Every structure is written in structure tokens, then in C-alpha cells.
Amino acid sequence: MKLFRNLSIAILLMASANVLAQQLPQFTQYMYNTIAINPAYAGSRETLSIVGLHRSQWVGIAGAPETQTLSIHSPLRNEKIGLGFSFINDQLGYENFSYLYADFSYTIQTGERTKLAFGAKAGVTHFNLDQDLFNASDPSIDPGDPILRELSNRWSPNVGAGLYWHSNRWYVGLSAPRLFNTDRITAEGAAQNDIVVERVSYYLTGGAVFDLSQNTKLKPAFLIKETNGAPLSIDLTANFLFYEKFWAGVGYRINENAASLGGIVDLQVSKQLRIGYAYEYPLSDVRFYTSGTHEFLLMFEVFKSKRVKSPRYF
């Protein structure tokens, strides 16, 4: 269908007359990209942790989303303090969002084996429209539209906060990575309702690890996302760990408008290196136009001391 030849054209048309709410992208392997949504996670793995992820969504549809993330975080010598950095590049057709944020956490002991971390996040979100849009021959796009011109190359500062309560066997997190609603259009002559905003989203996450046998573990996890003006989104996953080396599991995401089913595999190549892959298939009408979504994960951790006292499952 012509509608799917370039998703961003339809989105931009909606933006010219309504409110368009940009949200952080979601991932099948969300449990390994926690710092992107919760700054309190910084330093929780007790070592320097570097995670990269690439997501190609709805492969086969022109202009479909492609996302890359990079996060780095570590505790300081004072193990109560964690610092981190996260970068997200999200491309949807002609639209590009880049998120560059620094993270800080402070952890207190709440029990013999439990800790509670408080986190803060600060940085900027950059929104840009590709110049190819203004050179497009599509009659529905007006290159001289002041709203589109004002949209291009926009920088918006923002802050976030989070809590992360955990032991080496379970965790619960609550966070809001963007606390400000951000207006994006201030072009002279734009109608009052011709605005695009970055909406506030709230995330509730949790997970646990259970021993099924000496060499097999089960790790269920969930993520619930609530965004003002958008449907509630729920992610559920169940992963099995075999011999502390190989993870395999399934994931399911549902909201008011769509649902998807996914599979996840991860391999602990060495103590320092971990690689992962996830495949997600939409259960909504978009499935007729795509072969699915692919995610690739790379995690590298530096162990220079005996700080890590137990295996890290989250």
C-alpha cells in the first residue's frame, strides 16, 4: 500500500494539524538496556559495563524505524555512587531523534542483600528532518511550510529520575526518563494546535531469577510503560539460562493498538563479552507488509577487581 512506502510522510501530515507525541523507542531486549530509561541503574552491575544495540523494525517497509543505542556506566571508588552515559539514535523515514544523556545514581543498603538506588538523568534531545524531505516531489509536502522548517534541527534539554531496588536475584524499578513536556514548534504563523511535544513517560520494570535445576535458571521480567495521551504498553518476557552461558526466551508486547511476539537468544562468550539477538513479529495488520523486526546486542564489561561478588543477571 502507498501508505507504507514512507511512514514519515503520514506522520508529518498529522503533525501539521495535530499533536504528535514522540516517545522513546522500545526494545525486545529492554532488560539489557535499562539505563536508557532508568538512571538509578547506573553502576548496579558493579563494574564498567558497555552495551550497544541495533534495532531494525518492520523490515521491508520503506521508512520504517531504525534505532541504535550505546550506554556506558560504572560505579566509582565509592561504590554508593554510579555514573553513566546513554546515547540513542532513532531514525523514522525523514525524521531523526537523537538522545544524549548523562546519568547519576546513589545507592543505599536496605537489607543484608538488598539495595535501593536513586537516580537522576540530564541531557538533550535533538530532532531533525532530513534535507531530502524538502527536495521530495511528493505534492503533499510543502518545502516552504514554516512548521516543517521550524521542526528541523531542534535541541531540547530535559531531565529524568528513577528508583531501582534490587538484590542479586530480583529487581524493581520506577522511572520517568523525560520529566518535561517539550514544545517543538514556535514558527511564526503556526496555529495554536500545530505543536509537537515530547511527552512524559513512566516506566515500571521488574524481574527475578529462579533455579529450576543445578544448570538451568528461569528469569521472568516485565516492563509497563504509561505515556500521557498514549495507550498503556506492557512487555512480558521469560528467559531460560543454561550452564551460566546461554540464554533463550520469548517476549510479548501488547498495547491498545498493537501486539507483537518475539524470541531472544544470548551467549556469554566470555566473562567480559556477551552477544545477543532478538526477533519480533507484529500481530497487528502491519504484519502483511513486513518480515519482522531484528535486534542485535553487544555487551562488554571490564573486570579489574574483585568488586563483583556474585553473578549479575540484570
> Residue 210: inside a domain, yes or no?
no
In this prediction, residue 94 carries a pLDDT of 82
Q: Which residues of the chain have pLDDT under 50?
A: 1-21, 187-194
In this prediction, residue 75 carries a pLDDT of 94
Query: 169-191: per-residue pLDDT in tens?
Result: 999 999 999 998 765 555 444 44
In this prediction, residue 103 carries a pLDDT of 98
In this prediction, residue 180 carries a pLDDT of 86
- What separation, in Å, do the N-terminal and C-terminal C-alpha atoms of the chain show? 41
> Residue 254: inside a domain, yes or no?
no
Query: 68-78: per-residue pLDDT in tens?
Result: 999 999 999 89
> Residue 172: inside a domain, yes or no?
yes
Indicate the number of domains in the chain: 1
Task: Report the sign of the C-alpha dihedral through residues 112, 113, 118, 122, in that order.
Answer: positive
What pTM value is reported for the model?
A: 0.87
> Residue 158: inside a domain, yes or no?
yes
In this prediction, residue 19 carries a pLDDT of 39
Domain with 278 in it: 2-198+268-302
In this prediction, residue 147 carries a pLDDT of 63
> Residue 312: inside a domain, yes or no?
no
> Residue 252: inside a domain, yes or no?
no
In this prediction, residue 4 carries a pLDDT of 42
> Residue 217: inside a domain, yes or no?
no
Q: What is the CATH number of the domain that holds 142?
A: 2.40.160
In this prediction, residue 156 carries a pLDDT of 87
In this prediction, residue 129 carries a pLDDT of 81
Which CA distances in Å does 67 have to 3, 56, 57, 212, 292?
A: 21, 7, 8, 35, 15
> Residue 261: inside a domain, yes or no?
no
In this prediction, residue 80 carries a pLDDT of 95
In this prediction, residue 218 carries a pLDDT of 97
